[in-house]
Amino acid sequence: MSKKLEGKIAVVTGGSAGIGLGIAKRFAQEGARVFITGRRQSELDKAIASIGRNASAIQGDTANLADLDRIYATVKAQGGHLDVLAANAGFYEPGTLGEITEAHFDKTFNINVRGLLFAVQKALPLLTKGSSVILTGSVASTFTRRRTSSFSHAPKRWLRSALWASRQVAVLIRRFGRTLP
Ligand SMILES: NC(=O)c1ccc[n+]([C@@H]2O[C@H](COP(=O)([O-])OP(=O)(O)OC[C@H]3O[C@@H](n4cnc5c(N)ncnc54)[C@H](OP(=O)(O)O)[C@@H]3O)[C@@H](O)[C@H]2O)c1
């Protein structure tokens, strides 16, 4: 049976654990060449062993723009282009309005907003006709319950809207049929 991603090049940021690792495994099973990223080399090594064939790890922090440049330079050198970007690296920390600290605010915007935005922006030159960008968000950005209120996820909803509204992305979609689900 033919595989859905045979011959495709995919990047999964935060692909060494959790949801990202699940995405990376499925992409590899479907035939994609998968590059996973993460900050801890030890976790990347374990993830690569569990994904098996067709997977490579590139260590880096998505909140660090120099790391993103290096990550995409490696993808370009080894894959040539990018068919699927799963911009997944992020975190969730529960906290009510009264509990949000300056450190939590800065961490949220550095990783879940800045890191996510630039992970997408810096991938643009590698995207090809028909390529896809997948953003891992959360229902917690619109739905909260007592004690599970999450400021960590709230900005992701705004960012998703901002990326959709981005003139550059809109032009790319019109011109090349690129998608941003
Ligand atoms: N789990 C949930 O219930 C849930 C619900 C809704 C949405 N989400 C979203 O889903 C995504 C994945 O969550 P998860 O629960 O699977 O998280 P996880 O198990 O903690 O895994 C996070 C992954 O992202 C990497 N990562 C974290 N910060 C990074 C950074 N600054 N740069 C590069 N890599 C980074 C981690 O590796 P290193 O730590 O080594 O960097 C790891 O590979 C996140 O965006 C999260 O907000 C999760």
- Cα separation of 15 and 136, whole Å? 12
**Which pLDDT does position 174 carry in this prediction?**
47
- Cα separation of 38 and 81, whole Å? 20
**Which pLDDT does position 181 carry in this prediction?**
43
Which domains does the chain possess? 9-176 (3.40.50.720)
Whether ligand 1 lies within 6 angstroms of the CB of 138 is answered as yes
Whether ligand 1 lies within 6 angstroms of the CB of 67 is answered as no
- Cα separation of 81 and 67, whole Å? 18
Residue 29's pLDDT band (boundaries 50, 70, 90)? very high
Quickly count helices (H) and strands (E) in the chain: 7, 5
**Averaged pLDDT for residues 104-127:** 92
Atom of ligand 1 nearest to the CA of 115: 31
Q: Please give the C-alpha separations between residue 160 and each of 28, 98, 145, in angstroms, as whole numbers.
A: 26, 26, 22
Sheet with 55-59, side-by-side order of all strands: 55-59, 33-38, 9-13, 82-87, 127-135
Whether ligand 1 lies within 6 angstroms of the CB of 48 is answered as no
Q: Residues 60-103: pLDDT tens digits?
A: 999 999 999 999 999 999 999 999 999 999 998 877 788 889 99
**Which pLDDT does position 136 carry in this prediction?**
86
Q: Say what the pTM is.
A: 0.89
Q: Residues 129-178: pLDDT tens digits?
A: 889 999 887 776 666 665 555 676 767 666 666 665 554 454 444 445 55
Quick check: 111 pLDDT over 50? Answer: yes
